[in-house]
């Protein structure tokens, strides 16, 4: 994006928290962030229920790095707390829940949930909008997903390279396309800021930030091998591919996450 998307007045510290939906599942709090204790199937079912209620609703996914950022970024933390549910994208979050003796059922990654929701939308006749990433990435995502799901109703798509001052116009364009589901791939915390500040204007019934999913689905980036996904090592795969950009985020961030969880564990034990 040509300018970094920052939170708008929606994130004022005096603004009331959005009421928790009655569909919300029980949560497990990890380092101050309530994580929905959901399987992937249950997450899809919950989104379907939220969509049937009408909008706006949104969800987020978190890994260790995002939880660490939320502990020092009040705007991001508030966006997560106001979400209808937050899923555990990183295996480290699931491991932390086990240490805290409130084990989460399953890791629910953003990219897997994204693809499941697209499949669900195609089957149920829901319309979708794709916002974010580079032009070739979002175009490739639309091309591949419509080939995979011929019945998919694509309300529209747009790359994520726009100035913060253009957000209202982007939201209005989305509103004119009238999507049921909005997928935002702007990276974190930009996508969380944008959704929390602009979702109501878009008219979408449900939105979720999906990070780098468009690059993977669109064929511009390779996902970690399945054995690394199962072992919770996707972060290591990304670190090897982009060490200069990601070493601090993962190595320093993971140590900070361990410290936050250890502090929570010690507090519980006392």
How high is the pLDDT of residue 46?
A: 96
Measured CA distances, 168 to 92, 146, 162 (Å): 36, 28, 11
Preceding peptide of 56 cis, ω within 30°:
yes
For residue range 63-85, list pLDDT tens digits in order.
999 999 999 999 999 999 999 99
Of residues 107 and 3, more confidence is placed in: 107
Preceding peptide of 189 cis, ω within 30°:
yes
For residue range 185-234, list pLDDT tens digits in order.
999 999 999 999 999 999 999 999 999 999 999 987 766 567 666 666 66
Q: Are 219 and 144 in contact (CB under 8 A)?
A: yes
How high is the pLDDT of residue 13?
A: 35
For residue range 113-149, list pLDDT tens digits in order.
999 999 999 999 999 999 999 999 999 999 999 999 9
Average pLDDT, the chain: 87
For residue range 8-35, list pLDDT tens digits in order.
434 433 333 343 443 445 899 999 999 9
In which band, very low, low, confident or very high, does the pLDDT at 268 lie, cut at 50, 70 and 90? confident
How high is the pLDDT of residue 227?
A: 67
* 155-158 contacts at long range (C-beta below 8 A, 24 or more positions apart): 155/127, 155/128, 155/129, 155/179, 155/180, 156/129, 156/130, 157/129, 157/130, 157/131, 158/130, 158/131
Averaged pLDDT, 235-260: 75
């Amino acid at each position: 994006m040509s300018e970094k998307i920052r939170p708008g007045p929606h994130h004022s510290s005096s603004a009331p928290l959005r009421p928790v939906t009655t569909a919300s599942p029980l949560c497990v709090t990890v380092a101050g962030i309530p994580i929905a204790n959901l399987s992937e199937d249950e997450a899809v079912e919950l989104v379907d229920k939220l969509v049937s209620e009408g909008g706006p609703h949104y969800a987020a996914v978190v890994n260790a790095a995002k939880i660490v950022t939320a502990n020092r970024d009040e705007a991001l933390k508030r966006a997560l707390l106001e979400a209808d549910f937050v899923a555990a994208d990183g295996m480290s979050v699931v491991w932390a829940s086990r240490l805290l003796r409130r084990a989460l059922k399953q890791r629910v990654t953003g990219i897997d949930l994204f693809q499941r929701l697209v499949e669900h939308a195609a089957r149920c006749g829901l319309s979708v909008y794709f916002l974010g990433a580079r032009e070739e990435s979002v175009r490739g995502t639309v091309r591949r997903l419509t080939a995979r799901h011929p019945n998919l109703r694509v309300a529209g798509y747009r790359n994520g390279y726009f100035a913060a001052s253009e957000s209202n116009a982007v939201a209005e364009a989305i509103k004119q396309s009238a999507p049921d589901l909005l997928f935002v791939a702007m990276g974190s915390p930009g996508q969380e800021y944008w959704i929390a500040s602009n979702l109501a204007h878009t008219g979408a019934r449900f939105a979720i930030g999906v990070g780098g999913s468009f690059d993977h689905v669109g064929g511009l980036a390779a996902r970690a091998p399945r054995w690394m996904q199962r072992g919770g090592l996707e972060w290591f795969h990304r670190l090897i591919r982009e060490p200069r950009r990601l070493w601090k985020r993962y190595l320093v961030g993971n140590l900070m996450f361990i410290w936050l969880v250890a502090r929570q564990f010690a507090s519980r034990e006392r």
